[in-house]
Structure 1
Amino acid sequence: MRAIFGRKIGDLTELEELTEQAIKSGQQGQSYSVIKEVLLEGDEFHSLANDFFNDQPWITEEDGGVNENREVRCIRVINQDTGEKILVNNEGYTYARYVGIEND
């Protein structure tokens, strides 16, 4: 699986725009593996999506990074109401430092 990740992206709208531009320019993205899944209710998901810089209680310093296969270690965040998904690689921080959109 591959996804295009953006670093220090402010919100979901910005991420969607940057992802669209990257795809148009031919970027393939990075391989990733999901280390855990977090299911958020609609309001919680929208709170995250509106400000990726907010610390999240479900992100720990041990999450994120890269595994031995050079895959990005991600948290899959799922909107319980819509099924929309965001990938988070926090790189040791407690906020969504790198984010990507997971497509089915």
Structure 2
Amino acid sequence: MHHSSEKVFIFNFDRSCFSSAVFSSFSLANTWIQKNYLSGVLTEYPLNQGSYDWAIEQGYFKVKSPIDRAPIFIGSFISTHQKRWYFKDGEVLEEIIDRL
């Protein structure tokens, strides 16, 4: 199943359990984070598709055991291939790149 290449950028404040903002572009997210001097992680997500399904579709993840299909695994899955940026007091400290 081919999905749109549309993306959203979701911001999680440091030590927060929930996201505080969703943006349609990195630029809009970056402006908001800078304006409010926020610290946390901005993550790029595929729109209208779970990270788990996206990673399988892109060939980044292969199901190898029944555990890989468990709801707790799928529900908490994030791919190392999703772009993430760490912000401290509104400034990008680094793009987190941990691709294998």
TM-score between both structures, scaled by the size of structure 2: 0.32
**Larger RCO, structures 1/2 (Cα 8 Å, 6+ apart):** 1
TM-score between both structures, scaled by the size of structure 1: 0.31
- Structure with larger Rg: 2
In terms of fraction of residues, the more helix-rich structure is 2
